[in-house]
Amino acid sequence: QPPRSCEDYWWEWKHCRGLRHAFHHYYAHGELPACGRWRDDYEACRAWERGRDAAAQEALCESERARVMEKQKYAPVWTLRKSPPPDWYLPLEQDKPN
């Protein structure tokens, strides 16, 4: 069984090719989105479901691994706290000592 349903890959490909997404991606990143990977994943998913193609299975799993690694590559913007600040219960209007 593929990691996602094949319709998910089809929807992601259609979404990626949409004008609104292309405009937002160009505004945020300065380049048009590369949507070919979603189409390739969709075709590999269909080949996997149709004929249990081992090459399509490996290509799809590798693409999913790369997608997960790409998400994990960026560090969080803020450092996470281990505990709340010592004066968390004080009202916000009070001046805090520096």
pLDDT in tens, 34-79: 999 999 999 999 998 888 888 888 999 999 999 899 888 877 788 8
Percentage of residues in the chain having pLDDT higher than 70 = 95
* Residue 33, amino acid: P
Q: For residue 55, what is the enclosing H or E element?
A: helix 54-72
The answer to whether 61 and 3 have CB atoms below 8 angstroms apart is yes
Distant-in-sequence, close-in-space partners of 51: CB < 8 Å, separation ≥ 6: none
How many Å apart are CA 18 and CA 42, to the nearest integer?
17
98 vs 53 pLDDT, higher one: 53
| Cα distance between residue 44 and residue 57, in whole Å | 7
More confident residue, 95 or 2: 2
- Please tell me the pTM assigned to this model: 0.69
